[in-house]
Structure 1
Amino acid sequence: MDHMIFEVGTALLLIAIVSVLAGKLKLSIIPFLIILGMLVGPHAPTIGIFDFTFIESQEIIGFLGRIGVLFLLFYLGLEFSVSKLIQSGRNIVFGGSVYVIMNFTIGFAYGLIANFPIYETLIIAGMLSVSSTAIVAKTLVELRRTGNSETELILGMILFDDIFLAVFLSVMSGLLLGGATSVGGVLLSVAISIGYMLLFFVIARKGPPVLNKLLNIASHEIFIIVVFSALFFIAGFSEKLHVAEAIGALLFGLALSETEHSKRIEHLVIPFRDFFGAVFFFSFGLGIDPLTLGNAAWVALGAVVLTIAANVISGMIAGRKAGLSHKASLNIGLTVMARGEFSIIVANLGIAAGLLPKLKPFSALYVLVLAIIGPLLAKESRLIYNGLNLIFKWSEPKERLKNNERATEDVKG
């Protein structure tokens, strides 16, 4: 206990070093932090005064990680707005539906084929269905594609995917954490979860005038105390109702997203989201023994292959239905392919419910691979398009088009 602060400080220093390295390489910090956590922990050596096992501090690091999840989901709720859903076009609804249904169906079928029990299969299907909002946004900015024709549809599909995540977590937390043993009990738990979520949707639409008055606080110090206190209370209260604390944080963010204070809250939350979010990914890796990863390697790699195929196909369908070119449609599938924080949150729900331990190494490998190759595939989308174009003949090569134009001009001449 005497070395608790030093151990936590050592962990945070390692997180900072790895984050700087990831920034220098212009890559997502998520896989770096998970790998860092895997490399240290109970199996790591003690070198002088530096104890990299983090045995004494693992509980507090894990708690800080849970705070990171709350801030991640709270911020997502602030970014989302019920009015955005109402105003979104048919293309976004169609594209999002195709994306979620295809990925979920493939994930569910794969879980059954891999002989996972039904609850584990549902968790796997959920993991395969949710993209990483953080990595997708970072990819669009880094590749300077924010002005591309397909970007609006990408963001709309991500928004739709986030809504699916909220519903999925609500339903699964009712099934897994509600402790229901009968069909009626399960239905009641699910109904409570969905009803609780709908309550916040109503508050988001009807409550802003009241919330605006309550949050009309001039002092930044008092303002942040009020908002964060409410955040942790609602997250804890959600757990009492057997709704995941993460979804409680998301719903609270959703309720505040329509207020005139939403931008002010976002500005205050971002540093906490980034700091505690980094601890979350590190703590997730900290609980994984690298020697156990081989038990889930082939299953995870199979899920990766299926995810790549499902994302490319659903992206092509969504893009073409919206009238986009084949190239822009391919960009959609490659960009939303990355998996990260939300897949881990879904996996953690199953782990917290006492499902098969294999879920942890499976989710770690699955997220690691897609968090790395997802942005890389998006970056090389032009090369991938040219390769696929040779097979599917979506468009003629530029040289052939030029020759055809010249031939046409000769005929006219």
Structure 2
Amino acid sequence: MAHLPHLVTDLGILLTAAGITTLIFKRLKQPLVLGYIIAGLLVGPHFAFFPTIHEIENIRIWAEIGVIFLLFSLGLEFSFKKLVKVGGASSVMALVEIVTMLLLGYTAGQLLGWSTMDSVFLGGILCISSTTIIVRAFNELGVKPQRFASLVFGVLIVEDLVAILLLVLLSTLAVSQQFAGTEMLAAVLKLGFFLAVWFLAGIFLIPTFLKRAGRLMNDETLLVVAIALCLLMVMLASQAGFSPALGAFIMGSILAETTKAEKIEHLITPVKDLFGAIFFVSVGILIDPGMMVTYAGPIALLSAITVLGKVVSITGGGLLAGQGLKTSVQAGMSVTQIGEFSFIIATLGLTLYVTSEFLYPIAVAVSAITTFTTPYMIRLSEPLYKMLEAVLPDQWKERLNRYSTGAHTINTTSDWKLVLRSYTTNMVVYAVVIIAIVMLADRYLNPFIIENGIEGFWADVGTTGATLVMIAPFLWALALHHPQKEAHSRIWANSKYRSVVLVLEFARAGVAVLVVGFLLNQFFSTLAAIIGGVVIIALLALFSERIQNFYRRIEDSFLSNLNDRQISDDHNIAPWGAHLTSFLITPSSAIIGGTLEELQIRERFGVNIAVIERGERTIMPPTRYERIYPYDKIYVFGTDEHIEPFRQYVVDEGAVGAVAAGKEDVRLQKLVISSSSVLSNKTIKESGIREMTNGLVVGIERAGTKIMNPDSNLTFAEGDILWIVGSPSRIKHLEETAVKPALDKHFAEQS
């Protein structure tokens, strides 16, 4: 009989146990992650009643592959554009929670008498919630369309990025064994630099490659190419001194910006599920039940700290961000668990031999307890809100409502803000690109030239010349490009600010000279580098038009790749609880065939259908004669209380989703009516908003009063805050038109 390698038998035992527990936990309607952990516990070395894994080290290798695919999948769901669109509220909530839990975890570890390193890693373990558990819980409970869910998803996006940063910082701390501020700052800057380089290069190259090779790719080849790209970035990250998981996450986030993202995510799901199961089972294998009994007290304490700390910190962050009591409490009660990133951080401590062996099983036990309680916490969020509302003094509730409304007040973005933001972005992006090209030339191009028979001075000249050609368009953009031309021109037109503009222009040129000097100083003396930098910037100005045309082609290609997949799943939420969500109309829906006038949706449910997407068409806003057809996607504006009955009436279970990418970007935007606005004292019908923006006025705030779905004959007054569903670019144009008289008056007074 042929000998069967232990690797095959171990994998068979592992997957058999995982399959059985999966079926049991699916039947019990419990999170599958808990089933995997229990499966690992049963086939691990501490449980003798079942077949036992022989070579745990092999399983650890499989588990590391599982971590890579888990992080790759998270990256596909992450997307840097999503991070930009997260908004201030989710960012504030996430940062308040992370800082609070880091402090609570470290303090708890110190009070328990643990080492400094154990306490630091404990803080990192407790501060990251589980994206997997929350998404599954939201799907099972049907709360994804509700207002608080979009905030929670934003919090999770920020947490994922912070978790990646924590992996780098904790690795640095583990190696240095001390809190060296300089080393930590260097690690953060190094991470930021490589993230920027990889993202910029990836967006420029990978979508272009996928487009050109698209005709040759079926499902099989696309899957192979996606995994190859993932592992390639894993190798690059390892070469740069980062964890393999970071490389997988970055490649996932790059592919998330391509038109193939959904297809890749669909194809990679079975691979991720397989290796993810292996990872979570390996987590259970490493658990020592005796140690968990020994540390039952700390496990109970840390579970309570996790649940209470996250509820209080997220709720407090939500109130601080002006999200209102109900939304803040619901969000706080949804993120009360730790999960996959916590296991990865705990595994990092064990791998680097800087944490005690008891920390890992404690982290797993806390995760299991908090995961089990998650669905119940979400269900209890609304009763808790009602209880708090009943016991809070009226004065406190009034202040909270007033603060919530005030936190959403918007002002027109000033020209100075636009110009300074563009200057800063340009300097950072182009400096990163130029420095990366210079470093690659120094490390690879110069040795290549020397190996091919050119040495000494001429090798340096050749390397410098080739590098200058490569960086010329980016150097021109750094020194001379004005992305906000209109705002820049308006500022320059005011003679008071011309001296400031000149200082900024000279500063940009100075930075460009320093960058060129950095390049030349790699091969020549400092004085020669500075003189050469000034000469090169002058030549760039002389040949500006040719370089500009070349740069435009590069920029257009990059922006085309970046914007191929428009992600518009952010919800710009109105302060009184109304928000925008979307429904896919199934063939069995009760509203198919009816016109909006016949269905009387606004009168019956208190919601407004603001947009209809039908194939390649976007009907915005629809007229009362528009009919609803199968597979239409309708965008609905209303409160959770109104949307939920409408959802139950309109769609089959599971057909509801968050606002997704459409043929034309659709958002909920705000506009403030000033005393000099052209909209002031006009009715909605007279204002022409519907015609100018293809939009619909769905709400008005007036002196603390909230008017939902206002009548078309209502007259705008000074101080009104309008909520409009429509195209952001059109609404932005309307905003600029509405405030132009006030700006003209302001500049006239200043001149």
**Shorter-chain TM-score: what band?**
0.7 to 0.9
1:283 positional shift: 0.7
Q: Which runs of 5+ in 2 are unaligned?
A: 398-751
1:88 aligns with 2:86: yes
> What is the number of equivalent residue pairs in this alignment?
390
Q: Percent identity?
A: 27
Once the two structures are overlaid, the 10-residue window that deviates more, 105-114 or 158-167, is 105-114
1:20 is aligned to 2:30: no
Indicate the residue corresponding to 1:301 in structure 2.
300
Structure 1 pair 369–256 and aligned structure 2 pair: CA distance change class (3 A): same
Structure with greater strand percent = 2
Q: How does 1:66-215 map to 2 (within 5 A)?
A: 66-176=64-174, 191-203=189-201, 206-207=204-205, 209-213=207-211
Partner of 1:398: none
Q: Which residue number in structure 2 is paired with residue 375 of structure 1? A: 375
* Match among 31, 40, 43 for residue 40 of structure 1: 43
- Counterpart Cα distance in 2 of 1:189 and 1:317: 31
> 1:74-96 CA distances to partner (integer Å, 9 max, x unpaired)?
01111111112222322122222
* CA distance 1:40–1:254, change in 2 (3 Å): same
What displacement does 1:3 show?
A: 5.6
Q: Tell me how far 1:221 sits from its aligned partner.
A: 2.4
Cα displacement (A) at 1:341: 0.9
Distance 1:209 1:14 in 2: 40
Q: Give secondary structure in 2 for the equivalent of 1:259.
A: coil
CA separation of 1:205/1:88 partners in 2, compared to 1, >3 Å: closer, same or farther?
farther
Residue aligning to 1:2: 4
Q: What do the CA deviations read for 1:327-366 (whole angstroms, capped 9, x no partner)?
A: 3322111111121111111111111111221221221111
The answer on whether the counterparts of 2:102 and 2:124 sit within 8 Å (CA) in structure 1 is: yes
* Superposed displacement of residue 131, structure 1: 0.3
Q: Is the 8 A contact 1:178 1:242 kept in 2?
A: no
Indicate if the aligned counterparts of 2:173 and 2:179 stay in contact, CA closer than 8 A.
no
> 27-36 or 135-144, which moves further after superposition?
27-36
The one-letter code matched in structure 2 to 1:379 is: R
Larger Rg over CA atoms:
2
| Equivalent residue letter for 2:31 | S
- Paired residues of 1:204 and 1:258 also in contact (CA < 8 A): no
Change in 2 beyond 3 A, CA 1:380/1:215: farther
Contact 1:338 1:375 in 2 (8 A): no
Contact 2:138-2:144 at 8 Å conserved across structures = yes
**Separation in structure 2 between the aligned mates of residue 65 and residue 170 of structure 1, nearest angstrom:** 20
Quick check: 1:238 aligned with 2:237?
yes
Answer yes or no: is the 8 Å Cα contact 1:91–1:153 preserved in 2: yes
> What amino acid is aligned across from residue 365 of structure 1 in structure 2?
A
**Structure 1 residue 153: deviation in Å?**
0.8
Q: Report the alpha carbon displacement of residue 381 of structure 1 after superposing the two structures with TM.
A: 2.7
Aligned-pair RMSD on alpha carbons?
Answer: 2.7
Distance 1:219 1:104, change over 3 A: same
Contact 2:314 2:328 (C-alpha < 8 Å) held by counterparts: yes
Greater helix share, structure number:
1
CA distance in 2, matches of 1:220, 1:246: 25
Aligned residue number for residue 633 of structure 2: none
Name the CA distance, whole Å, in 1 between partners of 2:293 and 2:191: 36
Which amino acid in the other structure matches residue 372 of structure 1? F
Q: Could you tell which deviates more after superposition, 97-106 or 345-354?
A: 97-106
Distance of aligned partners of 1:12 and 1:237 in 2 relative to their CA distance in 1, 3 Å threshold: same
1:190: Cα distance to partner? 5.4
Letter in 2 for 1:332: A
Q: 1:190 to 1:312 in 2, by over 3 A?
A: closer
Deviation at 1:105, TM superposition (A): 2.1
Q: Could you tell me which amino acid in structure 2 is paired with residue 309 of structure 1?
A: L
- Aligned counterpart, 1:247: 246
- Name structure 1 gaps, 5 residues minimum: 396-413
Distance in 2 (CA, whole Å) between partners of 1:30 and 1:108 is 26
1:245-394 correspondence runs (5 A):
245-355=244-354, 356-386=356-386, 388=388, 392=392
Rounded to whole Å, the distance in 2 between the matches of 1:278 and 1:90 is 35
Q: What secondary structure, in the 3-state scheme, does the structure 1 residue paired with 2:295 have?
A: helix
Q: CA deviation at 1:285?
A: 0.8
Cα displacement string for residues 115-138 of structure 1 (whole angstroms, at most 9, x for unaligned residues): 333332221111111000000111
- Is contact 2:311–2:335 with CA below 8 Å preserved after alignment? no
Aligned-pair CA distance for 1:263: 1.5
Deviation at 1:176, TM superposition (A): 3.0
Mean alpha-carbon deviation: is it higher for 25-34 or for 237-246?
Answer: 237-246
- Distance change (3 Å), C-alpha of 1:13 and 1:241: same
TM-score with structure 2 setting the length: 0.48
Aligned to 1:403: none
1:113 to 1:179, Cα distance in 2 relative to 1, 3 A:
closer
TM-aligned CA deviation for residue 146 of structure 1: 0.9
* Matched AA of 1:158: L
Q: How far did 1:253 drift?
A: 0.8
2:317 aligned partner, one-letter code: A
CA distance in 2, matches of 1:154, 1:267: 23
SS of the residue 1:357 aligns to: coil
Write the letter of the residue equivalent to 2:269: I
Distance 2:340 2:372 in 1: 13
1:248 Cα shift? 1.5
Distance 2:213 2:322 in 1: 44
Mapped to 1, the partners of 2:118 and 2:227 lie a distance apart of 33
Structure 2 residue identity aligned to 1:152: S
Query: 2:613 is matched with which residue?
Result: none
2:223 alignment counterpart: 224
Q: 1:175 to 1:210 in 2, by over 3 A?
A: farther
TM-score by length of 1: 0.85
Q: Does 1 or 2 have the higher relative contact order (CA < 8 Å, sep 6+)?
A: 1
CA distance in 2, matches of 1:200, 1:254: 10
